[in-house]
Chains A and B, each alone.
Chain A
Amino acid sequence: MKATVYVTIKQNVLDPQGTAVQGALHSMGFGEVEGVRIGKVLEVELATTDRAEAETRLKDMCEKLLANTVVEDYRFELEG
């Protein structure tokens, strides 16, 4: 089973990288860009076919390591 984990900076936390990219897009003429937030995508292969178990384990992975929940949110999608 394959999981795609998205880790994003919380909305109320400033994302300096996103702000820099927004500035770059503006200077290139993409004036319609109102905001950019940069996050991470992790592709995780799991040796299980049990969806419920995979979800429980992934949540644990996210809480413990993949996201720092002080400043980041996470969500994931499961395929297969």
Chain B
Amino acid sequence: MKFAVLVFPGSNCDIDCYNAVEDTVAQPVDYVWHTATDLSAYDCIIVPGGFSYGDYLRSGAIARFAPVMSEVRKAAEAGKYVLGICNGFQILTEAGLLPGALMRNTNMKFRCHSSLLEVVNNRTPFTNQYEAGEVIDIPIAHGEGNYYCDDTTLRRLQDNDQIVFRYAEGSNPNGSVADIAGIRNEQGNVVGMMPHPERAVSSVLGSADGARMFASILNAWREQHGAAVNS
């Protein structure tokens, strides 16, 4: 299985994502520059955190027009796995690959600390190694992670089981609607989340709970492809 970690000018979690893939699932992984026009070689595309294009105008607003994003759209339509983390989540919502928008945190603070998440949906390619309802420890680091969508969209997210992660009860750090920390698209192959699983892949980092996200992706891919364990 082959992973791509996209790199935009201003990405700053790309190296963490790359290392997390190597350290957790030991699969081939490439950095892919935002000007790339072919992602056909990759099975999973990670859109990392950071401040793409300085986040000018709005977070993710300019990155969504990078050449590589039309390839991300193609990959998503083809059913490949796409994971947007933090700024990556903002980019995916701006691109319309996920519904809603990420607004300024209601407390106006940049929140950078560990956070407890409830795994709401463990039947996704990204969460199959967690128990449903399990509470995991994954750090956040954002000033604009306040997920917003209108009531109709929220109902649709709930009805289709599209809410993947919620901030644990009473710990919503940013004012997100329904405590949402991460969602998936209707098809289930695109997930966006504000917390950083790539920063929680070893107890040395304070938590290893994020490692199972990467393990989930590999597991899903192997099941989908009937692949041998070492491929």
Contacts and interface: CB of A to CB of B under 8 A. Distances in A.
Given A65-B57, A68-B94, A16 B101 contact: no
Given A68-B101, A71-B148, A16 B65 contact: no
Q: Which of B58, B100, B106 is the most central at the interface, judged by chain A CB atoms within 10 Å of its CB?
A: B58
Interface string A5-20: 0000000111011011
**Chain B contact patch, size range:** 20 to 34
Interface in A18-62: 19-20
A3 interface: no
Contacts of A71: 101, 103, 148
A20 B62 CA distance: 27
A68 B148 contact: no
A29 to B, nearest CB: 22
Interface residues of A, number: 12
Contacts of B94: 68
Contacts of B106: 14, 16, 19
A37 B89 CA distance: 26
B146 A16 contact: yes
Contacts, number: 36
B61 interface: yes
Contacts of A66: 57
Interface in B90-142: 93-94, 99-101, 103-108
Interface in B167-224: 175
A34 B211 CA distance: 48
B108 A68 contact: no
Given A14-B175, A68-B94, A71-B103, A20 B57 contact: no
B148 A16 contact: no
B57 A16 contact: no
A20 B108 CA distance: 8
Nearest to B96: A70
Contacts of A20: 108
19 contacts: A12-B150, A13-B103, A14-B175, A16-B106, A16-B107, A16-B108, A16-B175, A17-B108, A19-B106, A20-B108, A65-B61, A65-B62, A68-B61, A68-B94, A68-B101, A70-B93, A70-B149, A71-B103, A71-B148
Complex A-B, nearest 10 residue pairs according to Cβ-Cβ distance, in ascending order: A70-B101, A71-B101, A16-B106, A16-B104, A20-B108, A16-B108, A68-B101, A68-B58, A71-B148, A13-B148
Interface of B: 57-58, 61-62, 65, 93-94, 99-101, 103-108, 146, 148-150, 175
